[in-house]
Structure 1
């Protein structure tokens, strides 16, 4: 897009109880895209059927009247909410009727989290692939049997309709859209500005190994996974782990097996390999750098451990992941 080009209109639909981060996360990405690219990239507007609405966090959000939205919308964004306010929005005939009409004049239609249920109710997900927050995946499958529910994806693009998983994945989706519109350098600049770990492609799982492991332990090992996550590229010994948890090595080893089903060394290796798998999703990072950032002494040791765990070399995994993302 040249500097003289007209900015793309992005319209956010607001309603009482709307998830604040669904709105703010994606909106911030679109706003920063213009600031960091030096282009009039996006023109944001926020509309509602009731004027001032109260977000999920209690923060009031001011929406312009629905008919104040641009006549031609480039990207229409439908954020989500918890069950009660979402059901109320679905029953709001004025709101849903306007959304139905607006989708027909939008180049791209986007939902964040449970906003997908509003698209589904309007028939926009029929025959499409879509996703939503992991807690609502079964409900989506029951409600919209003619939709292919993607249970692992952070976000899904099917034609002009984009859906994303829970809450912060709206940021990932918005970053992908910005990359599509303005080129890959812009979302990378946004990621640096927002201090994000990396730009995540949609095919990454909603469920991370560190988060899954962190959900298991009782209070004695509750700090272990976050402690290790900040030290994956360090030379971490079992003795250091045990000391950080205030245990003897023998007790720590036993508790690791009891809680995680893994010896301490295996647990550390699992976290390192998961970090590597995530980093491989960004093909701008050399494999040797991935190995170092994941805590492996050299690329050869990394490749051997990765292939043993995932059945493919790091380079093969990266190619397969890129191909899957391209075909999605």
Structure 2
């Protein structure tokens, strides 16, 4: 008749069952011992722990052809080795004999995944190859010292020839992006400072809220205090506007004089009112002498 298990033996078995369910194979296993049913007696030989080693990175990467077979990815494999049949020192010595086979197997498994990827997208290639390896990349090697298991993964870089070709364009893209960012910062700064100086001028001159005509007249002067490049642009705009306006006013004045000489004083008066209204519309004073006297850089040329 079989004897019933003692209390300690029952607790030990329950603890081992919980531990096996709680942890997977990635953790070292506790050495198992056996004894008598009542917890007494000599322990049997413990089972070896599972040990892990990782191969050092290769000096030369593997080459995997990308889509269209023009460029090749640089593939840097990482091999994780584990075994329960030997010590860690022995495993480090034995995996050296299997690394060449593991690299060949990695090329075989990952080749088709790499061929489906754009040569300029190593991130997608790395993801695709590692996904393929997660399915077909758990290899076992029957070594003289016992069974060895290998779990591979990869890091992928773009083809050096493609990197050299793309580098100047990426640098130019980066320059444009940074130039745009700095330009937006300067533009916002110039806008804020110009608005601030316009507010100062309107308060000092007791103008109140500026209308469009007043702003058109005062912005070139406020820009002088905001940003030098912005000042040059606004001054150029003021001069160009003044040149075109002067040409139109000259034409209107000529028409007014011609109507006065012909005795058509009503038409001449209409032209005179049109000239005055147009000057106000363009933010110009009635006298070019006054306009030139207050210009940011002297008389307009």
TM-score (norm 1): 0.19
Higher CA-based Rg: 2
